[in-house]
Structure 1
Amino acid sequence: MREQLLKEIDADQASIVTFLQEFVRARSPNPPGDTRSAMAHVRSFLDKKGLGYRLHTRDETMPNLVASKLFGAGKKHLVLNGHIDVFPVNDASDWKVDPWSGAIVDGAIYGRGVADMKVGTTASILTYAYLSALPDLKGRLTLTVVSDEETFGPYGARHLFDVCPDEITGTACLNGEPSSFETVRFGEKGAFWLRFRVTAPGGHGAYTHVSPNAIELAYALIADLKALTKFEFIEPKEVAQALDQSKAQFDAAYGAGASAAARKVTFNVGTISGGPKVNMIASECQFEVDFRLPNGVDPERFMADVKALGQKHKFAMEILIENRPNWCEPNSELTRIVMRNAETLTGIKPVDVVSLGNTDARLWRYRNVPAVIYGPAPRGLGSKNENVPIADALNVIKCHVLTAYDYLS
């Protein structure tokens, strides 16, 4: 049956490529996060296949879809997860093609969101479609197609866990976020986004003796926040062993230094604003920072250190995002199946890594469900000329189909 599934995918190549191109053309940038056009594309495909589904919506512009197939007796329940919102395009003139065209250039499909993650979501959709027709599987297969992932908002996968957690938790989760063929992701760093506001009396720029400058006060606070990248912690043994073994391929896939970044606290000032004009002492400065916390960091203890800076600096702080570090067993059954199939299809044996960024897979790991990510390389991710070679897209789809088949056989 495995060979038959691969033959079916090869026979359907033209229609799969067309599906992906039309998926890219269904614009779904977040913000604003309106995914109705992209979801209509997904629904049209499932309708033509005669596959039922349910929509769960908290915001009508951000629909979520759940479909489930019960096979023969079995305890395994594999959940396929993918999102349909994508990053916005800053300047289309920087691209070699229209970023919403789904154009094919040199054997690759170009367009915003094709790597993150419309190829991966297509893999989930097609896996569900191909396997739903098979009579000899055991357990349950569930498809979740969600919105509102790019901003980690409450209207996507988080909403599904609010309204139908028993339907979508499963015993394992397979996700097609961009990973590259060199890696399989079993965990990810935490993300804490914080907004700080610093104030001062202010005054005329020539009278610097009457008030401190809020911008300069913010600089001093930023320096002390950056010093928290030296925060001490102990990695879980299993995570440390996996990352020790994957360093070379990790860096090959994500760039030199990626493997080191995965294992330390990182800090980025993303936005800063303050002061009304050049000849006035700034009375206010606001900035936002992005801390990424490795597995092993205790978020409560880390945030206690952040708040303790209030003894030295006067500021107001708001937590914008609070995603905890997460990981599952690197050598889980699903991970082993993905690795075996990936190597067979590509000739590359992927290694276990943790993600530097966040994905919806974290929501399954928070519930102690193994969640494994395998997808295309992140070419142009969040930048210009995002693309996925057609051959790579087909290999991702094949790997997901075979993995789901093996897991439920």
Structure 2
Amino acid sequence: MLRRENLIQATQRLVAAASPNPPGDVSQAADAALALLMEIPDIQLSRHETAPGIVNLVGVIKSGKPGKRLVFNGHLDTYPIGENLGWTVPPLGAVIQEGRIYGRGVSDMKAGIAASITAACVLAEHKHLWCGEISVTLAGDEESMGHLGSRWLLDNVESARGDAMVCGDVGSPSIIRFGEKGLFWIEVSATGKAAHGAHVHKGINAIDRLRAALDAVQRLEDLPVDTPDEIAHAIKLASAVSEAASGAGESHTLQHVTVNIGTISGGVSPNLVPSEAKALGDIRLPVGVSTGLIIDKLNEWLGPMEGITWRVVQRYEPSFTSPDHPIVTLAMNASREVMGVEPVANMRVGASDTRLYRADGIPSVVVGCTPNGMGAADEYVELDELLNVARMHTLIALDFLSDINGAPHA
């Protein structure tokens, strides 16, 4: 049923429409996506510009029969194009070479969007096979945490919500991602007393204070984690397959707090005692550790430190859909049928808009293409894998919406 050339052309049209974030203007990509959605029979479309250049799209396809609503979600914004990174092909050229399609954002996640749109189009042409509704939600803001994208849609557009959601963000068609770690970004500041570098006894070094504070922050990695049994079991079962795709050590990372101090600034000259210093850190939380616990520990450890202040930059909780939920099971079945190998279900290290849907009680999974070169030069996806993801999206939706006795959407 799927049309390979249409799928490839849809991906090329989306890649050719630049949508780097920053600066966050996705209007070209939104126009390209809107044109693709308009090709779907009987689709009801709405466009929502939540800030200049930040455009969100919602398309609804009704079967004409009562039933559930499945959401296909994706984000239109990408990493910066990075023209100076050493691309061997034009970053917006959507060049096809040796069974691959190249371009900025093709894996994260314009190929996934094309797969969802293609699946929606096929299902719209075969309404007799399913019941309920399909909603395609394309967000204009994800790389900046989604406040003006999927979060806005969930709060303001009823048809953006559903009984389950499938996201085509980066992943693997053989690894169904049912959850992801939480995020906790902090800023730690230190003050001291300036002095000449030869007269350290007259000053207080702010960088020394900051170093001590960051050592305390690093202690978060030693926090015990009470991982739910169903998640620990899934991670263990998925380990061999998932780590082959995502790197050795992923299973450990998924079950522990990680701390990455990303930037440090302070001082003006080697021969001066610095009076100010600052650092920004990215802390990721496994299921079993809350942002509230992190706040309590940082208050306990940093609060008594003289000259140290800290603040939360942004945060959200870890989230997961039970690996036994029907949407996960259906995604596993689709992978098994399409890929011809036994799939695994696992948590996800990075963030996606599935966290926003789960926060609203909507079960969600990530089913997307492998992120080759994501954020770097020569980003690409395999054409065969792109086709397989589109097939999987179609099968998941078909199976999820075939149960006319299922509870209808709210």
TM over 0.5: yes
Equivalence for 2:204 = 212
Is the 1:82–1:177 contact (alpha carbons within 8 Å) kept by the matching residues of 2? yes
Is the 1:92–1:98 contact (alpha carbons within 8 Å) kept by the matching residues of 2? no
Residue in structure 1 matching 2:248, options 256, 261, 275: 256
Equivalence for 2:276 = 284
Separation in structure 1 between the aligned mates of residue 184 and residue 208 of structure 2, nearest angstrom? 24
Is the 1:340–1:349 contact (alpha carbons within 8 Å) kept by the matching residues of 2? no
Deviates more, 1:376-385 or 1:219-228: 376-385
Is the 1:126–1:397 contact (alpha carbons within 8 Å) kept by the matching residues of 2? yes
Residue in structure 1 matching 2:329, options 323, 336, 352: 336
Equivalence for 1:241 = 233
Is the 1:182–1:253 contact (alpha carbons within 8 Å) kept by the matching residues of 2? no
Q: Post-superposition shift, 1:388?
A: 0.2
Q: Post-superposition shift, 1:60?
A: 2.7
Deviates more, 1:213-222 or 1:184-193: 213-222
Q: Which amino acid aligns with 2:247?
A: G
Is the 1:115–1:386 contact (alpha carbons within 8 Å) kept by the matching residues of 2? yes
Equivalent residue runs for 1:35-184 within 5 Å: 35-49=26-40, 51-136=43-128, 137-164=130-157, 166-184=158-176
Separation in structure 2 between the aligned mates of residue 41 and residue 52 of structure 1, nearest angstrom? 17
Equivalence for 1:384 = 377
Could you list the per-position Cα deviations for residues 339-387 of structure 1 after superposition, in whole angstroms to 9, with x for gaps in the alignment?
Answer: 1121221222221111101100011111222101111111112222211
Is the 2:54–2:148 contact (alpha carbons within 8 Å) kept by the matching residues of 1? yes
Equivalence for 1:30 = 21
Equivalent residue of 1:256, what SS?
A: coil
Separation in structure 1 between the aligned mates of residue 308 and residue 35 of structure 2, nearest angstrom? 51
Separation in structure 1 between the aligned mates of residue 230 and residue 66 of structure 2, nearest angstrom? 29
Separation in structure 2 between the aligned mates of residue 234 and residue 324 of structure 1, nearest angstrom? 15
Separation in structure 2 between the aligned mates of residue 19 and residue 140 of structure 1, nearest angstrom? 23
Equivalence for 2:363 = 370
Separation in structure 2 between the aligned mates of residue 325 and residue 355 of structure 1, nearest angstrom? 10
Say whether 1:272 aligns with 2:258: no
Separation in structure 2 between the aligned mates of residue 135 and residue 94 of structure 1, nearest angstrom? 46
Say whether 1:298 aligns with 2:298: no
Q: Post-superposition shift, 1:389?
A: 1.0
**Normalised TM-score (structure 1):** 0.94
Q: Percent identity?
A: 34
**Aligned length in residues:** 399
Equivalent residue of 2:397, what SS?
A: helix
Separation in structure 2 between the aligned mates of residue 157 and residue 244 of structure 1, nearest angstrom? 31
Q: Which amino acid aligns with 1:145?
A: L
Q: What is the RMSD of the two structures over their aligned residues, measured on CA atoms?
A: 1.5
Deviates more, 1:277-286 or 1:218-227: 277-286
Equivalence for 2:303 = 310
Could you list the per-position Cα deviations for residues 292-348 of structure 1 after superposition, in whole angstroms to 9, with x for gaps in the alignment?
Answer: 000011221221101222113532222222111001110211111111121221222
Q: 1:269/1:38 Cα in 2 relative to 1: closer, same or farther (>3 Å)?
A: same
Structure 2: state its 5+ residue gaps: 403-410
Separation in structure 2 between the aligned mates of residue 316 and residue 172 of structure 1, nearest angstrom? 42
Structure 1: state its 5+ residue gaps: none
Separation in structure 1 between the aligned mates of residue 178 and residue 324 of structure 2, nearest angstrom? 9
Q: Post-superposition shift, 1:181?
A: 2.8
Deviates more, 1:354-363 or 1:18-27: 18-27
